Chains A and B, each alone.
Chain A
């Protein structure tokens, strides 16, 4: 697909079917054509259990497609080597729902710093400044040394967002984005590009009718 008016096409699903779990299970989302371009914000809505999270995970290359194709900047995901896939995943951030799947054996700061230390091949001290900045942006600096299990779900979700943003992804998928007090959870979306040099994003939202909306 050529570039849209919004910008270059980054992620594209072509006739994609996504299964709920193992590939043998019936597809919960079928024949989806979806192109995510630079600087676009998408909201994926649907009733609970209709496969929104699976669709986002498939678009991020984390869940194998039951049918169809995932394409990143015109290159089929299936044709990529394992090293190329790892490189690709650095450019796609993903925030999981239900507490963001933080690692319980690490502190919040270490959770956020893990992708930085791993990909830069450096110690915790070398990434402390970046981690501190991210935690500050997300308003959880005071919890830097806390363990995820000691935090509320909302704070865990924020820490997961900080972790996903640490590598400055080009596309950001938010599965049930963090809620801010008194605001609908979608309210955080417009702030992200301004806060973090404009990563493009998609959000899964549990309310509203089915389908994606630009």
Chain B
């Protein structure tokens, strides 16, 4: 076997002097990377299985599944509406109102609509709504399904001939997709309104008609299509990731916290990836 060169030994010694242990870091990073790949592969497989069930059994047991979807929409949408409206008001006052005032100061008030559409409609709206759903409902889903798995309720469903993916996952996927989309729309509307309110309080000479006309002119049909796809996509990501983390392994009490953290981190990474894809689409479209 070839001896390590003198230069590589000295580099290793130097790193150790400053508290670095190259081999252990490589092992740690490699281990993390392998776990991340395994989790990603499991998530994709789980997502495809869920999609397969939705496609092949769209109307199966609808009398049971539809009320469950309704429950998920109420839980992830209706009950979170006050929180989303509060965030929208805060964001409108803190950010959007200031932005409108600044644009006026530099004489770029004609760009208000374009900036609003780029900042609020395309980016902030779906992301804020998705994070609210993830933190308030997604984390609960991990614990709920993890407990169900640990208590053997998944096997109990299987024993009754009830497909656990159809009964537990599909309603959450559809419910969270619809809820995230709905919350996004409400968030955007509330942010735009509260932003204008702040600008009005700052005596910005911009009439409501002019403000909303500029926004309407900046919006294209593509914004509506991509906004819907993006917001629903975020909802699907939350449902798939949290259901996967909850159902993949039976959770012990000590596993709940790290598994929930993994679900939040994995969802956030998936949000960023999906967001990047949509930015590319916006750029390609023009």
Residues of A within 8 A of B (CB): 57, 60, 62, 82, 86-90, 92-94, 96, 100-103, 114-115, 117-119, 121-123, 163-164, 167
Chain A residues near B60: list those with CB within 8 A. 121
Chain A residues near B151: list those with CB within 8 A. 101
Query: A121 to B160, Cβ gap below 8 A?
Result: no
Query: A101 to B160, Cβ gap below 8 A?
Result: no
Q: Is B223 an interface residue (CB 8 A)?
A: no
Which range holds the interface residue count of chain B?
10 to 19
Query: A101 to B152, Cβ gap below 8 A?
Result: yes
Q: Is B163 an interface residue (CB 8 A)?
A: yes
Query: A62 to B155, Cβ gap below 8 A?
Result: yes
Q: Report, nearest first, the 7 A-B pairs whose CB atoms are least far apart.
A: A90-B161, A101-B156, A94-B159, A89-B161, A115-B160, A101-B152, A118-B61
Bound: A92/B152 CA distance, A: 17
Query: A118 to B162, Cβ gap below 8 A?
Result: yes
Residues of B within 8 A of A (CB): 60-64, 151-153, 155-156, 158-163, 167
Bound: A88/B159 CA distance, A: 10
Q: A118-B167, A121-B63 are in contact. Are A103 and B153 (CB under 8 A)?
A: yes
Bound: A164/B161 CA distance, A: 10
Query: A86 to B161, Cβ gap below 8 A?
Result: yes
Q: A119-B61, A121-B62, A121-B63 are in contact. Are A114 and B155 (CB under 8 A)?
A: no
Query: A122 to B155, Cβ gap below 8 A?
Result: no
A93 to chain B, nearest CB (A): 8
Chain B residues near A103: list those with CB within 8 A. 153, 156
Besides A86-B163, A101-B153, 14 new A-B residue pairs in contact (Cβ under 8 A), listed by A number: A89-B158, A89-B159, A89-B161, A94-B159, A96-B159, A101-B151, A101-B152, A101-B156, A102-B156, A103-B156, A115-B160, A118-B64, A118-B161, A167-B160
Query: A89 to B160, Cβ gap below 8 A?
Result: yes
Give the contacting residue for B162; candidates A82, A92, A114; CB below 8 A: A114
Query: A118 to B160, Cβ gap below 8 A?
Result: yes
B98 to chain A, nearest CB (A): 46
Bound: A102/B162 CA distance, A: 14
Q: Which of A82, A93, A100 has the most CB of B within 10 A?
A: A82
Q: List 13 A-B contacts (CB under 8 A).
A: A89-B159, A93-B159, A96-B152, A96-B155, A100-B156, A101-B156, A102-B156, A114-B160, A118-B61, A118-B160, A119-B61, A121-B60, A167-B161
Q: Across the two chains, which residue of chain B brings its CB closest to A92?
A: B159
B278 to chain A, nearest CB (A): 34
Chain B residues near A118: list those with CB within 8 A. 61, 64, 160-162, 167
Query: A119 to B161, Cβ gap below 8 A?
Result: yes
Chain A residues near B156: list those with CB within 8 A. 96, 100-103
Chain A residues near B158: list those with CB within 8 A. 62, 89
Chain B residues near A92: list those with CB within 8 A. 159
Query: B161 to A57, Cβ gap below 8 A?
Result: no
